[in-house]
Amino acid sequence: MDEVAALLHRRGERMTRPREAVITALAARSGHVSVEDVLRDVSRLDPRVHRASVYRTLEALSAAAIVQHVHLGHGGTVYHIREQDEDHLYVQCRDCRLIIDVPRAQLDAMGEILRRHYDFELHPTHVALSGLCGRCRARRATGPSGS
Amino acid sequence: MDEVAALLHRRGERMTRPREAVITALAARSGHVSVEDVLRDVSRLDPRVHRASVYRTLEALSAAAIVQHVHLGHGGTVYHIREQDEDHLYVQCRDCRLIIDVPRAQLDAMGEILRRHYDFELHPTHVALSGLCGRCRARRATGPSGS
DNA sequence: ATCTTTGCAAACTTTTTGCACCAAT
DNA sequence: ATTGGTGCAAAAAGTTTGCAAAGAT
């Protein structure tokens, strides 16, 4: 928390109650937190904090590179505290919404192709890829009658 | 258009004026059309068509697999008429929003890794990857002072 | 004639903004 | 004392819904 405060101060910004609450909320969950989750958790942590402050705080913390967001195909955007070695990408199951972190090394083949053939530099952490996890694939094979 | 009508009829559904307008709007643009674009184009093509009908039509056409959507990291969701050989994925520049279609073959390395190591079947057309195209990377290097 | 789809209006959800006040530095 | 940030309330954006009427088959 002090680290975060220092980062903010370096930018001429301040550590405040709403910001503490947002950071606490993000830290409490392992990662992949939706705005909705943040709003709910923050208002539990400190009911005085207003929605608008949560939105503004997420924006400020993003600008300061303290938090990062990942767009999911469905289900909007999730936030998490940025780690120094943010070297994985996200893959999400389109059925159960499970998110899997994949080491960035795995993406290098793709990144290399994009760079070479398309002069395009991939930022693999920004958007989650979509697909089907094994469990949901099995469930679909069995048929939705199974439920 | 008749093809689409046939597909709808096969599902016990009907071809109507709003649906024609939406399909015309989607066909007129090469692809990657936002709801906003569809709404605007449709109301030009036929001002009697209501917004709500556009939303409902996009949903119906999606359900019938006549149109498909792609989630972009920023800028929401874009629609396009589904092609039989939908074998490319999308990559989008985070600065200029340019969308590049990449042949699916290029993604096979990644797809293979996900399948083998994570038991995850990638649906690569559903979400656009994000990154920086060459032009924007150059512009950033020059510095935003260049504009 | 039947039954799907439409237009409309209103509701809803989510996010943003203007502004006076509060509070971190 | 500064001036960045907050809470509030209202507006803005984007999407959905109930319903009576219209229209495709």
pLDDT (tens digit per residue) in A27-41:
998 778 999 999 999
pLDDT at B18: 97
Q: Which residue of B has its CA nearest to A117?
A: B102
B128–A124 CB contact, under 8 Å: no
Task: Indicate if CB(B74) is under 7 A from strand C.
Answer: no
Q: How many CB pairs under 8 A join A and B?
A: 110
Closest approach of B75 to chain A, Cα-based (Å): 11
The mean pLDDT of chain A is 90
**Which of B126, B132, B137 is the best substitution to test chain A (most A C-beta atoms within 10 A)?**
B126
Summarised one tens digit per residue, pLDDT across range A63-110 is: 999 999 999 887 789 999 998 877 788 889 888 888 888 887 777 888
pLDDT at A146: 40
> Which tokens hold the place of A97?
């919404």
Q: Which of A126, A136, A137, A139 to mutate to test the interface with B (most CBs of B within 10 A)?
A: A126
Q: DSSP of B62-85, one letter per residue? A: HHTTSEEEEE-SSS-EEEEEPPTT
A3: pLDDT confidence band, cut at 50, 70 and 90?
Answer: very high
pLDDT of residue B83: 86
The list of chain B residues with pLDDT below 50 reads 145-147
Q: Is the pTM of this model over 0.85?
A: yes
Q: pLDDT confidence of A147, banded at 50, 70, 90? A: very low
| Pairing mode of beta strands B88-93, B99-103 | antiparallel
Q: How near does any CA of chain B get to the CA of A48, in Å?
A: 31
Distance CA B4, CA B54 (A): 16
